[in-house]
Amino acid sequence: MSDCVFCKIATRQIESYIIEESENFLAFLDIHPHAPGHTLLIPKNHFKNLSELPENLGEEFVKIAKKTAFLLSKAFKTEHFTIGINQGSLAGQTIDHLHIHFLPRFPNDKGGSIHSVVYNKPEEDLSAIYQKILKVKNES
Ligand code: 5GP
Ligand code: ZN
């Protein structure tokens, strides 16, 4: 997409600190790091979110995700990471090009776990929630 920052990073129209690359993916440092080594992994083509990512890229995606984590763990001497996607504006997605955040974690880094991102306690019990999902599954 012509006005997408991450498409421009993928095509080198915008500079970035690229740490790893494969045929269809690129990992580069986030310009406003929330942790040392904060990295974004993107598909080079413009897919808005995980749902749009073609399944045949799955193996390549897992491979580069593992390599990204490996490089960061060695460079920053930590085995601890928060890895996640802000999918959709309500979840905080600001750039509509799929990107996975890799945040190396350190002792006393003042961060929380994924549980601290949201606590919107459901009113329904787990069984009702499960039935809703099963209904969709059975109809699809
Ligand atoms: P989101 O909130 O959409 O999950 O995260 C978007 C991320 O992209 C932010 O963490 C932001 O710092 C990063 N970002 C935005 N523009 C640029 C850029 O031009 N270069 C790099 N390297 N990162 C960017
Ligand atoms: Zn894009």
102 lines ligand 1 (CB under 6 A): no
Q: What is the pTM of this model?
A: 0.97
**Domain-wise residue ranges, the chain:** 5-111
Taking residue 68's Cβ as centre, other Cβ atoms within 10 Å add up to: 23
For residue 2, the model assigns a pLDDT of 84
Q: Provide the residue-wise pLDDT of the chain in tens; the chain has 140 residues.
A: 789 999 999 999 999 999 999 999 999 999 999 999 999 999 999 999 999 999 999 999 999 999 999 999 999 999 999 999 999 999 999 999 999 999 999 999 999 999 999 999 999 999 999 999 999 999 99
List residues with catalytic annotation. Answer: 99
**Maximum distance among all Cα pairs of the chain, rounded to whole angstroms:** 50
Question: What is the predicted pLDDT for the residue at 104?
Answer: 98
112 backbone φψ class: left, alpha, beta (φ>0; ψ -120 to 50): beta
81: alpha, beta or left, given left = phi > 0 and alpha = psi -120 to 50?
Answer: beta
Residues with a beta carbon under 5 angstroms from ion ligand 2? 1, 4, 6-7, 46, 97
For residue 28, which atom of ligand 1 is closest to its CA?
22
- Which residues, including other chains, have CB under 8 Å from residue 86's CB and lie 6 or more apart? 92, 93, 94, 101
CATH superfamily of 5-111: HIT-like (3.30.428.10)
